[in-house]
Amino acid sequence: MIEWLTPWYILLAAFILDIMLGDPHYLPHPVRWLGKAIEILEPPFRRIHPNLTICGGMYAVVLILGTWLLTFMVLAAAYGVHPFCKTLIDIILIYYTISIRSLDDAAMEVEQCLQKKQVQAAKKKVAMIVGRDIDSYNEEGLARATVETVAENLVDGVTAPLFFAAIGGAPLALAYKMINTLDSMVGYKSDTYLQFGKASAKIDDVFNYIPARLTVPVVALAAQILAGRGERSLITAVCEGANHASPNAGYSEAAFAGALAVKLNGPNYYNGKLVEKPFIGVHFGQSSPGHIKKACDMMILSSLLWLILLMGVGALSRLFL
């Protein structure tokens, strides 16, 4: 009834839906519901135990398992109506977990502002997709932040959710999105969330570990196809992927840095506090608005190559298992 290896056509249909529709704000979005659940349940879970680390761990586990179970039950009920109904809902829910079109749209809006020398407008666009302080950024800083966002979100918004969708369908894909949303909302190291968000951040690190590393050769292949820079992309990821505060985010960023020959990451201000981070692509030059379009092209091609790989593995597994 509920298949643990998702048929290739479900992944393909979800991918096509995302490319066609993106993230239209007039449609209900399950990931926004996840964010609302995170907000609503935080206060009561903070009161469960004096130790905020324990509270945060229980909070994360309940939300993640609850998301998986609710999605599983929805699909089971849909299957009870008709198998096609279950397939259709599976496609729609997986579509909601990926964000190729919306990531490309957001980045290209920044690129267009910078090409028109509309720096203030570009800052407003960048502020919507990054969490750092950007008031002092010039064109180079804005371009760098946008390229970093495209590179990092290739994992969070494409390869990881498709990876988990391929293994466990919509229930596991949405559970991953809950993990990812928890990390973005409570997983950062502030006075408020240092203890309470610790479990959410660690769980996100664990679940992104494999997808982040599998993404590297896919990006390198895309870089080779687009610009003949696959080897440099791969070498940079291997040598400098660990140069990041996150144990995972640096690998895709390093692959993009090598492919585009740009320096990424480095020190940044967050809520007025300087956070020292090592540079990635230390031997390369500065980012420019033109690199945003190249990063988006590489993100889209990498997403397509990843989809083909997952569909191929899924098809082969059905033949031999």
**Chain segment 17-68, per-residue pLDDT in tens:** 999 999 887 777 888 999 999 999 999 999 999 999 999 999 999 999 999 9
Stretch among 113-127, 185-199, 213-227, 244-258 having the lowest mean pLDDT: 185-199
pLDDT, mean of residues 110-123:
94
Rounded to whole angstroms, the Cα distance separating 18 from 21 reads 5
Rounded to whole angstroms, the Cα distance separating 87 from 239 reads 42
pLDDT for 1 beyond 60: no
**pLDDT at residue 76, as a whole number:** 95
192 versus 80: the higher-pLDDT residue is 80
Find which of 39-48, 124-133, 260-269 is predicted with most confidence, using mean pLDDT. 39-48
pLDDT, mean of residues 169-198:
92
Tokens of 226: 């687009």
pLDDT for 307 beyond 60: yes
Q: How would residue 3 be classed by pLDDT, with cut points 50, 70 and 90?
A: low
Domain ranges of the chain: 8-320
Summary mean pLDDT of the chain: 93
Largest CA distance in the chain: 59
**pLDDT at residue 319, as a whole number:** 75
Rounded to whole angstroms, the Cα distance separating 158 from 242 reads 21
pLDDT for 2 beyond 50: no
Rounded to whole angstroms, the Cα distance separating 11 from 74 reads 19
pLDDT, mean of residues 186-203:
89
Q: Which of 144, 146, 135 is nearest to 280 (CA)?
A: 144
272 versus 295: the higher-pLDDT residue is 295
Tokens of 154: 């290739």
**pLDDT at residue 235, as a whole number:** 97
Q: Which of 155, 164, 176 is nearest to 255 (CA)?
A: 155
Stretch among 18-32, 62-76, 243-257, 262-276 having the lowest mean pLDDT: 262-276
Rounded to whole angstroms, the Cα distance separating 30 from 178 reads 10
pLDDT for 321 beyond 70: no
**pLDDT at residue 317, as a whole number:** 78
Quote the crossing angle between the two packed helices 160-186 and 198-227, to the nearest 10°. 130
Contact 294, 219 (CB under 8 A): no
Digit-coded pLDDT (tens) for 273-303: 777 788 999 999 999 999 999 999 999 999 9
275 versus 147: the higher-pLDDT residue is 147
Rounded to whole angstroms, the Cα distance separating 201 from 205 reads 6
Rounded to whole angstroms, the Cα distance separating 18 from 10 reads 12
What percentage of the chain reaches a pLDDT higher than 70? 98
Q: Is 5 helix (H, G, I), strand (E, B) or coil?
A: coil
